Amino acid sequence: MRTVTIDDIIALEGPRTPSSATAQKTFRLGTLVFGDRAYTEADYTFITLALKYFESDKQYDGNGTPPWKAATLGTSTVTAALPAPPVSATVVTPGATPAPATTPAPTATPTTTPATTPTTPSSAAGTPKVAVPPPGGRTFVQAGTTDIAALIAAQLFEVLTVWKFDFGTQRYVVFIVGAPSFANSLSTLLPTDIVELVSK
């Protein structure tokens, strides 16, 4: 039997590249979940909690999969969220069709005028409604309120989740309809916030 040391491996294979001092230590990942049926609120809650645990600073208790940071002995961290899509490409006035950037529009009606969005009627409380997406579909809307429940109630379809990109933390936050409060990372809104609504 022969004892093999790390120095023996380095002598044979050479030093690692990149070195431990310069290697990437912060990672970002996205998650795709597939199934043969529509996901329930409980499913979404479970997935959200699992991802929050995976990217957390919690100590590993020996059960199941350890959080990333614990698995790497504190040398690395991971964020289970994707960066925001380009604002100019995805965030538009609800109900309006954005003109191509190269097309002059000297007579364009200001998008801040409610009358320019006839396909996006507003409720009496001023909370905007949007066209009904298909089941599981998504649509963007300006919140128009600070009340998440009022935003959801104003829609013409059953809302499953409300998503918002937090530019301060560079992460998406979510409100899951019917989920316990600890599962919801979105708790406050500004009327000017652009949110993504997912249909049930």
pTM, rounded to two decimals = 0.40
Angle at 140 between CA 112 and CA 37, to 5 degrees: 165
* Mean pLDDT computed over 23-50: 84
Domain boundaries of the chain, sorted by first residue: 27-82, 85-200
Residues 154-187: tens digit of each pLDDT: 999 999 999 998 878 888 899 999 988 888 999 9
**Which pLDDT score, from 0 to 100, does residue 151 have?**
94
- The H or E element that residue 175 is part of is strand 171-176
147 CB burial (10 A radius; 0-12, 13-18, 19+): middle
pLDDT bracket for residue 120 (50, 70, 90): very low
Burial code (b: 16+ CB inside 10 Å, e: under 16) for 58-95 equals eeeeeeeebbbbeeeeeeebbbbbeeeeeeeeebebbb
**Which pLDDT score, from 0 to 100, does residue 166 have?**
83
**Which pLDDT score, from 0 to 100, does residue 86 have?**
57
Residues 40-97: tens digit of each pLDDT: 877 878 888 888 888 999 888 888 889 999 999 999 999 987 766 555 444 444 555 5
Residues 100-114: tens digit of each pLDDT: 555 555 554 544 444
